[in-house]
Amino acid sequence: LGAPEPGGTRPRIPIVALRTGLICGALLGTERFFIFHLSDLVYKAHELIAVLTFLGLYVGIVGLYGERMRHDMRFVWPALLVCVPLVAIGVGQALLWLGQRDVGWVDVAWRELGIPVWLSFAFWQWVAVALLWVGLGHLLMSRLRAATGYGRRFR
């Protein structure tokens, strides 16, 4: 994944961003094991690590797709698929901001108010996580196929 692209250059910014996102994601998943009350020590530490995780993963994966699209336009659709949750989050949050400013943060009371689950930021956050892993897997598999020649047709 971090090997030079067919043009010979290494996509430095996407690789650094992806590594940052993966490290922050590991910290996010294990923070309670090391420092149980991290957000008490550092204001909004959990949220900061979560934002760095998503920012790193998105910049890294979309950046790597951008590098691949320079050489093969078949990577456009998978890159767009990875970006769908970002658009949905933006639209959902804009709808809430414009139409229902009094709903507050997501909790079980949303169901009682009749607000659809697809307007929930948390719903799209988990969809984003799933599609980021799918995108990363696709990038790894396509890189493996390119390196080994697996899946090429014989002529």
Domains held by the chain: number: 1
In a domain, 73, yes or no: yes
In this structure, is the dihedral angle defined by the CA atoms of residues 47, 125, 12 and 143, taken in order, positive or negative? positive
In a domain, 155, yes or no: no
In a domain, 153, yes or no: no
In a domain, 124, yes or no: yes
The pLDDT score that the predictor gives to residue 79 is 92
Could you read off the pLDDT tens digit of each residue along the chain, which spans 155 residues?
555 555 556 789 999 999 999 999 999 888 878 777 777 888 888 888 889 999 999 999 999 999 999 888 989 999 999 999 888 888 877 877 777 666 666 666 667 777 777 777 778 888 999 999 999 999 999 888 877 776 555 44
Quote the tokens at residue 29: 């998943």
In a domain, 81, yes or no: yes
The pLDDT score that the predictor gives to residue 155 is 43
In a domain, 59, yes or no: yes
In a domain, 143, yes or no: yes
Single out the residue of 135, 121, 130, 134 nearest to residue 47, CA to CA: 121
Which whole-number Å values give the CA distances from 59 to 22, 79, 101, 120, in the listed order?
A: 12, 11, 30, 23
3-state class percentages of the chain: helix first, strand second, coil last, to nearest 5: 75, 0, 25
By residue range, what is the domain housing residue 87?
12-148
Single out the residue of 49, 18, 58 nearest to residue 31, CA to CA: 49
Q: CA-CA distance, 81 to 48, in Å (whole number)? A: 25
In this structure, is the dihedral angle defined by the CA atoms of residues 137, 138, 140 and 144, taken in order, positive or negative? positive
Q: CA-CA distance, 137 to 77, in Å (whole number)? A: 15
